[in-house]
Amino acid sequence: MTKKILIAAFIIKNEIESFLEQIETEFEVDPNKAFMFENLDEDSQYIVTFYAELPIDERINLRKHFKNALIVHKKRKTFYTINALNNLIENDHNLEKGNIDYKRWKIDWSQYEDKLIINSNNKLVLIPLKQFFY
């Protein structure tokens, strides 16, 4: 049995081609199934997302394969990490950190379309994205 994980990697534009070759070699990912986004806040930064398939009992050490990558999840046109999602819920609903049942809080996903939601330096960061085709 296998599982699919969604990976978002931060790269610079002139590394896109070599990155696509790397994911094809290391993860057998068809480069046509990787999606590229411009980080609208950083001119030279791009985000490539792709699904990697792993044995169900295997964990991945992303740092071994990539300098800057995260396991992310996707809802409609929004990408997010679980920790950032919890932080977003705390912020949106003015909750204090602690024993929170995050599943019971609703999120208006339309507010976060075309964004990557992550934590960076212990702060919630919303990165505006624009898809492009290589």
Q: What whole-number distance in Å separates Cα of residue 49 and Cα of residue 28? A: 14
**Which band of pLDDT confidence, cut at 50, 70 and 90, is reported for residue 6?**
very high
- Alpha carbons within 13 angstroms on the beta-carbon side of residue 8 total 21
Task: Of 115, 19, 1, give the one whose Cα is nearest residue 58.
Answer: 1
Mean pLDDT of 8-31: 94
Are 49 and 84 in contact, with CB atoms under 8 Å apart? Answer: no
Are β-strands 115-120 and 78-80 bridged in parallel, bridged antiparallel, or unpaired?
Answer: parallel
Q: What is the pTM of this model?
A: 0.90
In terms of residue numbers, what domain contains 106?
Answer: 2-132
Torsion of CA 102, 105, 108, 114, to 10 degrees: 0
Task: State mean pLDDT over 108-116.
Answer: 96
Structural domain total, the chain? 1
Supply the pLDDT for residue 23: 95
pLDDT in tens, 51-91: 999 899 888 888 888 889 999 999 999 999 999 999 999 99
